[in-house]
Amino acid sequence: MHTPHDTRRGALIRALGLAATGGLLAQGFRAEAAAAGPALDWAWLAGSWKVRHRRLKSRLTGSKEWQEFDGTCVNWPLMGGAANVDNNVIGLPAGDYHGVGLRCFHLEKRQWGIWWIDSRFARIEPPVWGGFRNGVGTFMGEDTHEGTPVTVMFRWSAMTATSAHWEQAFSIDGGKSWESNWHMDFARVSG
């Protein structure tokens, strides 16, 4: 028997598949073209991870108080490495929530787009765009935080077969200054 949560999750997964497929077909995406993209950029992320989170309790307020909590991440590649998706459980002190990260390589832009879906708000966040250079992945986009327009930056670094670091920062002045507000340290789950 499926619970309402299972039904919503199935509908979301189907919608993601249709949205990703429709968008890629609209761009004239072909399997041969995907092979020309950086299919190995995210290969290190595939699999299961324990995640240690550290985030500012309050963002864009000058807060220096950090919260620490645990989570998990399971990632798998799609479309021969031209896309990938992960399922995340985030153990906030107020209670767990789920998030889905969806990444897809845009052939014309020659950049990766990253979309985030947060179970608490049932919406897809605006994407960040970017790529990897010298072992660091930097991705940026425009969004709002509690009504304030922000430039969002995701940065991946220290990627190995068994560990990685992710950081999020916001800017309210067009990138002149940044507030780092969330860090995640990944440790691969063996077996």
In tens digits, the chain (191 residues) has pLDDT values of: 434 444 444 444 444 443 443 334 334 334 443 444 578 899 999 999 999 999 999 999 999 999 999 999 999 999 999 999 999 999 999 999 999 999 999 999 999 999 999 999 888 999 999 999 999 999 999 999 999 999 999 999 999 999 999 999 999 999 999 999 999 999 999 74
* pLDDT value of position 7: 41
User: In whole angstroms, what is the distance from residue 124 CA to residue 127 CA?
Assistant: 8
Whether the CB-CB separation of 49 and 188 falls below 8 Å is answered with yes
Q: What is the DSSP letter of 159?
A: -
pTM for the whole thing?
0.80
* pLDDT value of position 37: 53
Whether the CB-CB separation of 90 and 83 falls below 8 Å is answered with no
The alpha carbon torsion through 48, 54, 59, 65 (nearest 10 deg) reads: 160
Question: What single-letter amino acid sits at 44?
Answer: W
Count the Cβ atoms, other than its own, within 10 Å of residue 141: 18
Whether the CB-CB separation of 56 and 65 falls below 8 Å is answered with yes
